[in-house]
Structure formats: C-alpha cells, structure tokens
Chain A
Amino acid sequence: MLAFIARRLIISVLVLFGISILLFAMLRWMPGDPTEALLDPLSFTGDREAALADLRRRLGLDRSLVVQYFSWLREVLQGNLGYSYVDGRPVTEILGDRLGATVRLMSASVFIGLLVGVPLGIIAAIRKNSLIDYFSSAGSLLMISVPSFFTALVGIYVFGIKLGWLPTSGQNTPGETGLLDSLEHLILPASILGLSLAGPYMRYVRSSLLEVLSQDFLVTARSKGLTRLRVVGRHALANALIPLITVMAVQLPALFGGAVVIEQMFAWPGMGRMALDAVNARNYPIILGFVMFVSILVLLSNLAADVLYAIVDPRVRTGQEES
C-alpha cells in the first residue's frame, strides 16, 4: 500500500512538471503582451516603448523562456508562486483570499448534488423501468444537458427577479455578516452548480446499483427471505456507492470549470472569477498559480480516491494497478 502511494506520488510530481512546462510555454507563445495591458494608453504620457521595455525587464520577461521557467520553478519550490503583475501582491496571498469563497461554493454544490443525485439514483434502480425511473433518468440527462449559465439565468429570473426570494450577487449583503444572510446568498449559485453534478451522480448510482443487484450474493439474500428494502439497505448500497468516490474525484476539474462560469454570473468573489480577470489582464503569475493549484488538488484527490477505494474495497488490488 505504501509503495503504491509512493509510486503514485512520484508520477503525480512528474505530471505536475509536465503541466507547468506546457502551461508556461503556452502562455509565452500566445500572442498578447502583459505589459501592454499594464500601461493604460489613455492616461500614459511619455515614451511608451521605453516604458514597456523597462516594465518587461523589471518583470523578467526579457529573459529566455527556459531561464524564466527555472527562476519561476525555484521560487515555487520555496513556496512562492510569484507576484501579481497588476498590484504586486504575492499570488499565494491572493489565492488564499479567494479560496474560502470557492471552497464554500463547491462544497455546498457537492452536498446538494449528492442530496439530489444519490436518492434519485437509488429509487430509479430499485423501481427499474417504472415511471419514476423513466422520469429521473430523463431528468438527470436534462441536468447534464442544460448549460449551467442558462440554468443560472432562469434561476436569477425566477427566484431573484420575479419572486424576489433570493439575492443574486455576492457572498453577503454589504455590511451584513449574519449566517442567514450568507446562506441566502449561497443557496442559488450552489443549487445551480449542484444540479449539474446531480445528473452524473444519479446516473452513476443507478447503473452501479443495478449491476450489484444482479449479483449472486444478492439473489441469495433475497431468496433467503430478506425483504427488498433490507437487501438494498444492508448489502447492495454499500457496494454500489463506493465507486461514487471515484466519480466525485474525476469530476473535480469540471467542477472548477463550472465554478468559473457561476462565480462570474453571481459576482461570487472566488478563484474562478479571479482566474477570468487574470486572463483578461494577461496576469501570468496568477493564471499559473491558479492552474497549478487546481492541478495539485485534482491529482491529490484522485490519489485519495484510489487509496480510499482500496481501503473500503479489499477486492481492489493496488499491487498491479496500472494508470
């Protein structure tokens, strides 16, 4: 087990290197110069070319790509992700500021996704080919198919404008810090992001439970005279829900993507919105820092899911596991 974790960690580190090199090269080869965005052509007077060159030199952008990469890497290994081009603040500090809001939004979404998706999947599997199964299967496809920004528009229209029940912007009403107020702000964006997760969760639970239910030991349990409910609750569910861990880990990158859109629409002060702003301002250090952060998180959660999976399911042999 330890050897397995060690091997996976080494691979993860290699993958991280790959990501950073790819991203670094990509950012630098793209047309578009961050210094252009930093000097406002309207308010700036004087020798623009000289000022740009000076800025490039100060930001280290005049050095070769390889030199830039290694100086960046050296800082990263010491825990320094660089400094924002716009206001000079350390990237780690900026990420830290935004992390809380994103974690709050994402964990609430996952919670809502599980709350909706898992029971629906279980009911659909138990009552296979019933009307409930039909509707929840179609419903889950609907949740997968409708783009979240459109659900968000509908949600803002219905609950924010027409009914006036929920606020549609920010984490708090300015000046308020109450728990109720933040919950009110959280509920709409989190439900919309959560519904897009509930679809895949539901489909996964349904097919996984169906497969388990057809296995011999459950047929035996039924023929022993155990009730349907008992069979499902005691025996089948545990087996069917374990793989959900993997599904949740695999969906993490997509969740970050969804968060970018939702944070933008709800003026949520999280990392997704920060990333979008950084892209528009060509703020390389923040983009790099954000993608590296997400990648590390994704790799760690994949590893954690595999380990957890091996612990709860002894049938998984980690010894000869391959990719």
Chain B
Amino acid sequence: MTVSGHGDEHDPEFIVSTDLAPVDSSPEIDTGVDPEDEGSSGELSPTRLAWKRFLANRLAVAGLVILSALVILCVFLPVVMSLEPNAVDAAQFRKGPSDGRPLGSDSAGRDVFARLVYGGRVSLLVGLSAAFSATVIGMALGAAAGFFGGFVDGFISRVTDVVLSFPTVVIIIIVAAFAGPSLKVLILSIALFEWPTACRLVRGLTLSLREQESVVAARGLGGRSLHILRRHIVPATIAPLTVVATLLVAQAILLEAALSFLGLGVPPPTASWGNMLTESQSLTILESMPWLWIPPGAAIAVAVLAVNFVGDGLREMADPRQQR
C-alpha cells in the first residue's frame, strides 16, 4: 500500500471543507490488507485499533447486529418458509392476525407477514444499491474535481451546488411521476440526486492527497493521471467514504419509503415497506387495523436506526479525535 502516514508537515495550509476531518486519520486510510495485522505482538495495528473503537461503541454494535439480522431474515426466511406475498384471497379481506398469518392480511387478502419479508428485500435492495451508486458517482466526480482542479473543479463544484439547492424529494417525485414508478427509476433517481455529499468529501480529500509525497513522487516518475487516481487517490478515500455511504443508505431507505408511500416509488403489486403504508392514509385502516400499518412503519424505523447507529460508530472509528 502506497499511502503512508507522512502527510501533514508538508502542507500546513490545506483547508478541507468537510465536516468529517478526514486528513488526520491517514494511518486508517490504509484499508487494504495490512501486513501488521498478522502476528501483531503487543502493539495494535491501526486497523485493529479502529475495530476496537467500533466495538467499544455499544450502539454501533447493536446496530450492526440488528441490521445483519434484518438482512438475514429478509433473504433467507422465504427460503425456509413458504411465503406468498402476492397471493390474493378475497375470503381473507383485512383479517386480523391469526395462527396461519401472524400479521393478518391486507385489503386484497394478502399475507401481511409475507409482504413484510418480501418488502424488506425490496426496501433494503433499493437502499443499498441507490446509496452505492450515489457514492460511486460522488467519488468519481469528487476525485476528478480535486485532482484536475481548474475548469473541471469549477464546473463540478457548480453542478454540486445546483444539485444541493434542489429540494431533492420534490425533484425525485417529479422524476418518478414522469418516468413512471419502477425500481430502476427509483434507484437511479435517488443516486442522481444524492451524490453531492460524497463528492464534496472526496474532493476535499483529494485536494490534500494530491500534495502528498507519494503522489508527487508517482507523478514525477511519469505516472499517468488515471493510474495515480486509481492507485493512490481512490484507495485512500474509501475509509472516510464508508461513513458517508452508510448515512446515504439510511437516506435512501427513507426516500424509498416516502416515495412509495406517496405512490411514486415501488409499483404495486411488488411489496415494499413504503407502499405497504400507502393504504393507511385511510382513517378506517388507521383506526381499527393496526396490523396493516404498524409493522412496516416499525420495520423502516428499526432498519434506518440500525444503519445510523452503524454510521455513527464508523464515524468515530474513522475520526479518533472525536472522543465520546
């Protein structure tokens, strides 16, 4: 790994305009396989230290456990149980919880528990893939802006400003309404409007990394821009970026839920936690059929809370200055 810790004395004036204070954590930036990791005798390696910090944060660990449990349940429950999320049964119209159906059935007589599990698959999938895409877009644009500077930087920074001053929810509603609700549109539109946070972070990091000796040396040796970006800049941004990516996952799950709730996200009959709640805008359901709206709402809350706990833990892990 090429990015090493001798950084700060060289460039005293870098002002990184991010709230994550990334530069001082240069030992942790090294995320690859750490040779010190094996056979560490007494002295803890940066990676081990970071893990210790993460594990010491009880909420973060709880979040990780809950999140893993949710993912495992949503992925594997349909494998071991026979769940029919889309089987319509008129005889079961809005029936309360019973033996065969622990969470009752909805207005089309479908099994609410089955829909909750399958909806979880969709909601988590949208959250993860939208956040991942947004992070990748942000990373690419941010690295380009920070590395090339000048016109490229100016242009990308202005575009970031434009996207940041959009009311994102409104814009995504517009896109979703016009392009017609579908999973693809949903993931893409969340990604297209949520990348600026990642972009700003990576731009700031790149600005300072660009001046590091390793990068200067690589350039002096004739390394091409793309090679330097890939080998020296991008790997060093991954660790701080995971914090932002985690928070984007939470954001994306919430956005999916809100859009599906308004009928502009995941199209029926596919279940998602958000569109399971659409019906509960009716007062009858809200008043007398709590099994229809409490489980999906609670599922969203628990999932997002868990992701945010993990994100907080990662933030403290990446930034040792912030003491608890």
A binds B: yes
Q: Could you list which residues of chain A lie within 8 angstroms of chain B, going by C-beta atoms? A: 11, 14-15, 18-19, 22, 26-27, 30-32, 128-129, 138, 141-142, 144-150, 153-154, 156-157, 161, 207, 253-254, 256-258, 260-261, 264-265, 272, 275-276, 279-280, 282, 287, 290-291, 294-295, 298-299, 302, 322-323
Contact A290 B170 (CB under 8 A): yes
B161 in contact with A261 (CB, 8 Å): no
Query: How far apart are B166's CB and chain A's nearest CB, in angstroms?
Result: 6
* Complex CA distance for A26 and B178, rounded to whole angstroms: 9
Residues of A within 8 A of B304 (CB): 145-147
- B261 sits at the interface (CB 8 A): yes
Secondary structure dominating the interface of A: helix
Q: B217 → chain A, closest Cβ, in Å? A: 27
Please tell me if the beta carbons of B157 and A299 are within 8 angstroms of each other in the complex: no
What is the distance, in angstroms, from B165's C-beta to the closest C-beta of chain A? 4
Cα(A216)–Cα(B168), bound, Å: 41
Q: A141-B312, A323-B157 given as contacts; is B301 within 8 A of A32 (CB)?
A: no
Whether the pair B174, A287 counts as a contact (CB closer than 8 A) is: yes
Across the interface, B170 reaches (CB within 8 A) one of A265, A291, A299, A323, namely A291
User: Known contacts A15-B165, A256-B167; is A144 also within 8 Å of B301 by CB?
Assistant: no
With A18-B158, A27-B174 given, is the CB distance from A145 to B301 under 8 Å?
yes
A-B contact pairs, 25 of them (CB 8 A): A22-B162, A26-B175, A27-B174, A31-B179, A141-B309, A145-B250, A145-B307, A145-B308, A147-B258, A147-B261, A147-B304, A150-B277, A153-B293, A258-B169, A261-B169, A265-B281, A275-B170, A276-B173, A279-B177, A279-B178, A280-B177, A282-B178, A291-B171, A295-B166, A298-B167
* Chain B nearest Cβ from A82, distance in angstroms: 16
Most buried by B among A30, A153, A275: A153
Extra A-B contacts (18), CB below 8 Å, given A150-B257, A157-B287, A322-B17: A14-B158, A15-B161, A26-B175, A27-B174, A31-B179, A144-B308, A146-B300, A147-B301, A153-B293, A157-B290, A253-B164, A254-B167, A256-B167, A256-B170, A261-B258, A275-B173, A276-B173, A276-B262
| Shortest Cβ-Cβ A-B pairs, 9 listed | A257-B169, A30-B178, A150-B297, A145-B305, A145-B304, A256-B167, A298-B165, A253-B167, A146-B301
How long is the Cα–Cα vector from A253 to B59 in the complex, in angstroms?
Answer: 30
| Cα distance A275–B166 in the bound complex, in angstroms | 14
- Asked if B81 is an interface residue, CB under 8 A from chain A, the answer is no
Taking CB atoms, residues of chain A closer than 8 Å to B307 are: 145
Would you list which residues of chain B between 130 and 181 have a CB under 8 Å from chain A? 157-159, 161-162, 164-171, 173-175, 177-180
Residues of B within 8 A of A145 (CB): 250, 254, 301, 304-305, 307-308
- Chain A nearest Cβ from B68, distance in angstroms: 17
Q: Is B40 an interface residue (CB 8 A)?
A: no
- CB neighbours (8 Å) of A138 from chain B are 59
A302 touches B178 (CB 8 A): no
Q: Is B41 an interface residue (CB 8 A)?
A: no
B residues neighboring A (CB under 8 Å): 17, 59, 157-159, 161-162, 164-171, 173-175, 177-180, 250, 254, 257-258, 261-262, 277, 280-281, 283, 286-287, 290, 293, 297, 300-301, 304-305, 307-309, 312, 322, 324
Least distance between A163 CB and chain B CB atoms (Å): 12
Residues of B contacting A298 with CB < 8 Å? 165, 167
Q: Tell me how far the C-beta of A159 lies from the nearest C-beta in chain B, rounded to whole angstroms.
A: 12
Task: Report the minimum CB–CB distance from B138 to chain A (whole Å).
Answer: 15
Q: How far is the CB of B160 from chain A (nearest CB, A)?
A: 8
Are A30 and B167 in touch, CB under 8 angstroms?
no
Task: Give, as a whole number of angstroms, the nearest-CB distance from A316 to chain B.
Answer: 12
A279 to B180, CA, bound (A): 12
Q: Which of B158, B167, B322 contacts A257 (CB 8 A)?
A: B167
A147 x B254 contact (CB < 8 A): yes
Greatest chain A CB density within 10 A among B59, B167, B175, B180 is at B167
Q: With A22-B162, A145-B250, A294-B167 as known contacts, state yes or no: A323 contacts B277, CB within 8 Å.
A: no
Are B173 and A260 in contact (CB-based, < 8 A)? yes
| Chain B residues, CB < 8 A from A275 | 170, 173
**Contact A142 B179, beta carbon cutoff 8 Å:** no
Q: Are B286 and A156 in contact (CB-based, < 8 A)?
A: yes
Which residues of chain A are near B277, meaning CB under 8 Å?
Answer: 149-150, 153
A157→B282 CA distance, assembly (Å):
11
CB of A218 to closest CB in B, whole Å: 16
Select one of B159, B165, B262, B324 contacting A253, CB under 8 A.
Answer: B165
Provide the bound-state CA to CA distance between A180 and B309, in Å: 40
The chain A residue sitting closest to B200, CB to CB, is A323
Contact A257 B250, beta carbon cutoff 8 Å: no
- Chain B residues contacting A295 (CB-CB under 8 Å) are 165-166
Which of chain A's residues have a CB closer than 8 A to the CB of B287? 157, 161
Partner of A19, one of B165, B180, B309: B165
Is there contact, CB below 8 Å, between B168 and A19?
no
Which B residue sits closest to A29, measured CB to CB? Answer: B178
| In the complex, chain A residues whose CB is within 8 Å of the CB of B254 | 145, 147
